[in-house]
Every structure is written in structure tokens, then in C-alpha cells.
Amino acid sequence: MAVITNTVRTSNATTNKETLADVVSRIDPEDTPIYTMLPKGSAEGIHPEWITDSLEAPGDNAREEGEEYTFDKADPPVRPGNYTQIFRKDWIISGSQEAASEAGNVLKRKYQKAKKGVGIRKDVEFSILSNTPSQAGVVRRSGGLPTWITSNVSRGSGGANGGFVGGVTTPATNGMQRAFTKTLMDGVMQQGFNNGAKFKKVVGSSYIKSVFVSIMSDANVAPFRYSVDSGEGNTMVATADYYEGPFGKVMVEPNVVQSASPTLARNVFFIDPEFASWLWFRKIQEDKEVAKTGDADKGVIIGEGCLKVANEKGLGIVADVFGMTASS
């Protein structure tokens, strides 16, 4: 029997609650590997500073019997610092929407509060990864890792270090991009070893992780063994998480925040958590004092903090690599 023209049916309706799941999947992963790895501390002001010192280089120390003492000057330690950055997420929902029976409860205060909190955490990770210099003033910025690292470095042709100069960090200069290789990784790990670093993790984009896995075919890499006892049949294994090279053992971890940005994906970071941390001046929290001025529910999640690099010699970077594809 024919259906009357313009009849609305369940097959073309999009708002029937019974056809929607009341559970909303947040597709974006909440991974923040560097922020998660770093120790957390507190800042007592908007411009925390710390002391960085280093030992003298070893040398021949043989003295003549009975000689008079001479005295070397004591070099003052370096006093670097960073500026705390304010991170904020907010929302506004009408009173009617807050009261409505909604599929998934996405547009509700409780869900938005959790979602925005995760968003700030990912923004903190973005700040740590960014080649953004520290900045004072009305809009303060926390200097990211690429602006600090100057000792354990591999850069493409034309690239140049930034560094802490004159009370602030300066951005690194991008060089010509090239493929990420075992040779580049070993080179930075050797520099770190010579400077006293004990790298624990290597963090890059998901593409960099796939390149790392392909290193297993290198003639200088011993074939690995993997115990498979899943009880579900044969398993083909083509992955690796750790690299034990001439200068230490590191875990190689992909970073979803880097993977979404060509600007961030061009860098691979080598981290010794003893030499860096995150300082919170104001921990992430909901501002309970937001005034209600209309028929709507307003919300603000806010936090303030900065990266602390206790000694940049404990960190490393392979910069200017193809981090998105084999040519980008």
C-alpha cells in the first residue's frame, strides 16, 4: 500500500530519543604523555625561577708537594625562570536546555565540566610541545620544550637553537626536514649520555612511532622475541615499544597532540623526568564565582602554570623530521 507524501517516518527522523545511545563517546584520545610523565610542583608566583649549576669538566689534577695554594674563582650559577600561563575553558547553556531530557546528556553542566577539564589538560600538553617562547606581560606564556633545549640536539640544515637568554626563552629556528632514523636517535642519546642525562622516554607523533617500529629491519638491530600465548590462534607481531641502544634504554611513545599538528610533529623529544617538571600556580578548577546574569548556566574551568626545566642538559630533541608522512 502506498505511503502518503511527506509522511515523517522513523527511517528519516533524527530526533527520536529511543534511536540514540545515552552514552556519548569522546573520540579524541585524552593522551598527554609528557605532562603525565613530568613531576608536578607548585609555583609561588607568576614568574618562578630556579638555580641551574654544573660540575667542572674533569682533568689532570696532580699537584707539587709543598706548593702554595692558589684559588679559582667560583662561577655563579645560572638562574633561569619561566612565566605561568593561564588556561581557560568555558561554556554557557540555557536554563531550558539544562532542564530538558536530552539523549547523551552532552549539553549538561556535569559533562561539559569533565570535557573542558580534559581539554585544558591537552592544552597544557600543547604548551609543553610548542616552540613558543616564554613571555611576560598581560598575556603570559610558558616557554615550551623546543625553546629550552640547546645541548642534546639534532637539527636539519639551516636549523638553529633557541635557549634561555636575557630572562626569557627564544624560539628555535626550523631547519630542512628529513627522515627520522636510528642514527639521529643514537646521536642525541650519545650527547645526552655525555651530558649526564638518563633518558627514559622518546615522544613523537604516531607516524614517528611507525618509523621507529620499522627500525627493527635495520641490519644493526638484533631480532626481537615476543611471547605470544593469547589462545586465539597465531599472531603476527610488528611492533616495538623499547629501544636499548649503546647509550641507554628508552620507551618510544606516540603523542596524539603532536600527531594532529605538522608544526608539533616535526620534533621528537627525549625526556629525563629528573630535569623537568610542571609547576601549578593555580591548579585546574571550576570558578564557583561566575555570576548568573540571565536564564542560562555559565561555567568556567581555569588553571595557571608553567614548565620548569631544571637543567636542559637532561632533555634532548631530534628536530626537523618528517612527522606526518614520509615527506611532510
Q: What is the DSSP string of 200-227?
A: -EEEE-HHHHHHHHHGGGSTTSPPP---
pLDDT at 22 over 50: no
Please state, for a pLDDT cut of 70, what percent of the chain lies above it.
81
- Sorted by sequence, the CB contacts under 8 Å of residue 260 that are 6+ apart come out as none
Q: ∠ at Cα 271 (37, 207), nearest 5°?
A: 90
Q: What is the mean pLDDT of residues 167-191?
A: 97
CA pair distance 305, 279, nearest whole angstrom: 5
Q: Residues 102-141: pLDDT tens digits?
A: 545 555 677 778 888 888 899 999 999 999 999 999 999 9
- pLDDT score, position 179: 97
> For residue 201, is pLDDT > 70?
yes
d(CA 84, CA 119): 18
Predicted confidence band of residue 25 (pLDDT cuts 50, 70, 90) = very low
- 288 contacts 233 by C-beta, under 8 angstroms: no
Q: What is the pLDDT of residue 181?
A: 95
* Residues 52-82 pLDDT 10s: 776 677 778 888 888 888 878 877 778 899 9
* Cα angle value 102/108/109 (rounded, 5°): 165
Residue with cell 585546574: 284
What is the pLDDT averaged over residues 217-233?
65
Q: What is the value of pTM for the model shown?
A: 0.84
More confident residue, 199 or 71: 199
pLDDT band at 6, cuts 50/70/90?
A: low
pLDDT in tens, 282-309: 998 888 888 888 888 888 889 999 999 9
C-alpha cell at 30: 585524552
Query: What is the mean predicted confidence (pLDDT) over 222-236?
Result: 63
Distances (CA, A) of 279 to 57, 73, 190: 31, 34, 29
pLDDT confidence band for 18 (50 / 70 / 90): very low
